[in-house]
Amino acid sequence: MKVGHEEPIRLVGGVITVSSTRNRESDTSGRTIISIYDDHSIPLGHYEVVPDRIELIREELTSALACCNFVVLDGGTGLTHDDCTIEAVSPLLEKRIDGFGELFRMKSYDEIGTAAMLSRAIAGIIGGKAVFCIPGSTGAVKLAVESLIIPEIRHILTHANK
């Protein structure tokens, strides 16, 4: 059911892959997000791969938000000692979109079972722009971007900018 509260917003998407082991050439998840943007005629305004370091994630997010109205960060959302995307982004969020993480885990449960509880996916608003933090697997990326983010991004941005 579509609510119909969205404005005709020109989208510009950003992608930040958080990984200490991947680079642009080996970043299949980031390239998957970019491909999904292309499939939906969403221009890419920013793309980078950064290591799992809070200050570098924050710097890259600031750069991305300067030219994009929504940014997807993939990777660094797990439970290992170096996963710090949530710790980097969460304090910057002016408003959280708790339903995003809830729906992501619900849909993940349908695909991977109880391992879905390990996801710390979050989303929120910074300066009227949407930020999504999702796991770095290609399956998680497809699920989040195709099933949740793309269908609602204009609706989210409409409300974030009222």
Domain-embedded: residue 105: yes
Smallest CA-to-CA distance from 46 within 74, 14, 17 is with 14
46-74 pLDDT, tens digit each: 999 999 999 999 999 999 999 999 999 99
Sequence-distant (6+) residues with CB within 8 A of 33 are: 13, 15, 72, 74, 141, 145
Whether pLDDT at 4 is above 60? no
Residue 154 lies in a domain: yes
Does residue 7 form part of some domain?
A: no
Q: What's the pLDDT at 122?
A: 99
* Percentage, residues of the chain above pLDDT 70: 96
Instruction: Identify whether the C-beta of residue 89 lies closer than 8 Å to the C-beta of residue 133.
Output: yes
Of 2-6, 124-128, 149-153, the one with minimum mean pLDDT is 2-6
Alpha carbon distance 100, 50 (integer Å): 24
Model pLDDT, residue 1: 44
Domain-embedded: residue 1 = no
Whether residue 2 lies inside any domain: the answer is no
**Contact present, 125 and 158 (Cβ < 8 Å):** no
Per the structure, the complete domain to which residue 134 belongs is given by: 13-160
Domain assignment of residue 76, yes or no: yes
Question: What CATH number does residue 47 fall under?
Answer: 3.40.980.10
pLDDT cut 90: percent of the chain above it: 94
Q: Specify the number of domains making up the chain.
A: 1
Nearest by Cα to 19 from 128, 138, 99:
138
Q: Reduce the DSSP state of residue 66 to 3 states and report it.
A: coil
Task: Decide if 147 is inside a domain.
Answer: yes
Q: Where are the alpha helices (DSSP H) in 15-81?
A: 28-39, 54-65
Distance, in Å, from the CA atom of 94 to the CA atom of 82, rounded to the nearest integer, reads: 25
Is 17 within the bounds of a domain? yes
Q: What number is the average pLDDT over the span 17-26?
A: 94
**Distance (Å, whole) CA 85 – CA 141:** 15
pLDDT of residue 155: 97
